[in-house]
């Protein structure tokens, strides 16, 4: 699996710089798709820099984003990021355009009543080891952490809405009824803005156990519900429901903070959290950060087996390679 994040198409469309960055990002995607040859791809948020787009052509950027994926004929899903909603574009419009622009997209809209105001991107995708299997070996969960600006110019909450918590509980109970015991299934979760619980992990990182770029200090605006101290903990219902209901949750993966690419265990639930790698030529960056993707290599469908993961840069070099297992 290859995970792109923060590709930020559509910046500065009024001059030549912006379209040139989009071409570079498509080039990066093509290079890494050819090198990694993944079975599945995830774009983990901030597909478009919505504040730079024009109303008449904002969703057309999705066509350019999915072009490399269509060329490879690879299945993929996306999450929505805080830049994917602004006065000239909404998440729902992007998702519908993605579905129409690619037969390989597994991105879906939330069921009615799930996701709160402005958060329609909550869904899951079953992954089967063999086409003839009746039950999946892996379930990929995708959550909408919202953020951004509504069409009227007001700011959207930047945390997964509490309505998602009950949906997780209902969905997992239904899975158990239909598919049987969850002990034989694994899960991986994707959400663009990191859960607030991850903020306290950064000060305890070990460069050997937790290798990778660590250049973005987590704080105001960098995790869910962190813009306002009074909002702290508003993603707790989601975080508790995810960890309390989804068995064999092998990793939670986020983007948003372009300067981070490490993995670590969150102590409250002992779940492994990983940052993606900033993939786009749009969006902020820093000296020496580079651009690339995170790859996940599943050793088998057995929940207890490790997942090898690493950061791969545009030039093909890799770093921050670790194995996510019970001993990590």
Q: Please report the pLDDT score of residue 233 as a whole number.
A: 82
Residue 229 pLDDT: 66
Q: What is the CATH number of the domain that holds 286?
A: 3.60.21.10
Residue 233's domain comprises: 2-324
The pLDDT, as a whole number, for residue 56 is 85
The pLDDT assigned to 230 comes to 63
Q: How many domains does the chain have?
A: 1
SS (H, E, C) the chain: CEEEECCCECCCCCCCHHHHHHHHHHHHHHHHHHHHCCCEEEEECCCECHHHCCCCCCCCHHHHHHHHHHHHCCEEEEECCHHHCECCECHHHHHHHHHHHCCCECCCCCCCCCCCCCCCCCEEEEECCCCCCCCCCEEEEEECCCCCECCCCCECCCCCCCHHHHHHHHHHHHHHHHHCCHHHCEEEEEECCCCHHHHHHHHHCCCCCCCCCECCCCCCCCCCCCCCHHHCCCCHHHHHHHHHHCCCEEEEEECCCCCECCEEEECCCCEEEEECCECCCCCCCCCCCCCEEEEEEECCCCCCCCEEEEEEECCCCEEEEEEECCCC
pLDDT of residue 232: 65
For the chain (328 residues), the mean pLDDT of every run of 10, in chain order, is: 98 93 98 98 98 90 98 98 96 97 98 97 97 96 97 95 98 97 96 95 95 95 82 88 98 98 95 98 97 96 94 98 96
């Amino acid at each position: 699996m290859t995970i792109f994040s923060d590709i930020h198409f559509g910046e500065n469309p009024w001059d030549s710089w912006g379209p040139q960055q989009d071409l570079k990002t498509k080039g990066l995607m093509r290079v890494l798709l050819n090198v990694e040859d993944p079975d599945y791809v995830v774009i983990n948020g901030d597909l478009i820099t919505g504040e730079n787009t024009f109303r008449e052509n904002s969703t057309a950027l999705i066509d350019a984003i999915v072009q490399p994926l269509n060329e490879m004929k690879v299945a993929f899903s996306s999450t929505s990021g805080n830049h994917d909603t602004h006065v000239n574009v909404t998440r729902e419009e992007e998702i519908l355009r993605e579905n129409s622009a690619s037969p390989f997209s597994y991105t879906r809209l939330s069921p009615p009543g799930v996701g709160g105001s402005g958060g329609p991107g909550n869904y899951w995708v079953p992954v089967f080891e063999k086409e003839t299997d009746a039950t999946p070996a892996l379930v990929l969960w995708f959550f909408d952490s919202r953020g951004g600006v509504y069409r009227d110019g007001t700011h959207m909450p930047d945390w997964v809405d509490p309505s998602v918590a009950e949906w997780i509980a209902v969905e997992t109970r239904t899975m158990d009824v239909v598919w049987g015991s969850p002990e034989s299934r694994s899960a991986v979760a994707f959400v663009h803005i990191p859960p607030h619980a991850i903020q306290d992990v950064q000060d305890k990182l070990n460069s050997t156990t937790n290798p990778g770029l660590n250049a973005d200090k987590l704080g105001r605006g960098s995790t869910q519900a962190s813009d306002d101290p009074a909002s702290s903990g508003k993603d707790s219902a989601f975080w508790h429901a995810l960890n309390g209901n989804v068995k064999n949750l092998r990793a939670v993966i986020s983007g948003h903070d372009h300067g981070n690419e490490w993995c670590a265990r969150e102590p409250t639930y002992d779940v492994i959290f990983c940052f993606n790698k900033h993939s786009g030529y749009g969006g902020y960056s820093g000296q020496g950060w580079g651009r690339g993707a995170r790859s996940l290599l599943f050793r088998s469908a057995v929940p207890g087996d490790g997942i090898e993961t690493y950061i791969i840069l545009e030039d093909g070099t890799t770093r921050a390679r670790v194995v996510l297992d019970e001993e990590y």
